[in-house]
């Protein structure tokens, strides 16, 4: 069983729409959750971090965490073609020292 699971996509949304990306994790004691964006051939860059249940908003991005259901999601409002990338979910697990990444969801924003 994968520790962090994401739908690989591609997820296609029209420009201006809301993109919803989901991630589930298996380690109940996980405490830190991250969303990274990775353009093709580039290194991952942090979009959002979230540590407690609920929503966290930063500009067009909202991260949502539900520890009871063991999922974390990322909403991108007013999606732009420049948002087209692979989005990686990462979770601190294994006593908070190891970091486990999902395989990523590829997002395509159609102009």
Partner 1 sequence: EAQVTQNPRYLITVTGKKLTVTCSQNMNHEYMSWYRQDPGLGLRQIYYSMNVEVTDKGDVPEGYKVSRKEKRNFPLILESPSPNQTSLYFCASSPVEYQPQHFGDGTRLSIL
The contact set with partner 1 (CB under 8 A) reads 31-32, 34, 42-46, 49, 51, 88, 90, 92, 96-104
Please say which residue, 18 or 103, places its beta carbon nearer to partner 1.
103
Burial class (CB in 10 A: 0-12, 13-18, 19+), 52: exposed
Please say which residue, 18 or 46, places its beta carbon nearer to partner 1.
46
Question: 71-76 and 98-101 as β-strands: parallel, antiparallel, unpaired?
Answer: unpaired
Cα(12)–Cα(5) distance, integer angstroms: 19
Shortest reach from residue 21's CB to partner 1, in Å:
14
Q: What SS3 state is found at 18?
A: coil
Shortest reach from residue 109's CB to partner 1, in Å:
22
Please say which residue, 95 or 111, places its beta carbon nearer to partner 1.
95
Provide φ and ψ at 92, rounded to 5°: -80, 125
Shortest reach from residue 73's CB to partner 1, in Å:
18
């Amino acid at each position: 069983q994968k520790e962090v699971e994401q739908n690989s996509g591609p997820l296609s949304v029209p420009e201006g729409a809301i993109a919803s990306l989901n991630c589930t994790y298996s380690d109940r004691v996980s405490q830190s959750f991250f969303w990274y964006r990775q353009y093709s051939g580039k290194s991952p860059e942090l979009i959002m971090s979230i540590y407690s249940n609920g929503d966290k908003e930063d500009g067009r991005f909202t991260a949502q965490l539900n520890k009871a259901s063991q999922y974390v999601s990322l909403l991108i409002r007013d999606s732009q073609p420049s948002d087209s990338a692979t989005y990686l979910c990462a979770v601190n697990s294994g006593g908070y020292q190891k970091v486990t990444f999902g395989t990523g969801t590829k997002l395509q924003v159609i102009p």
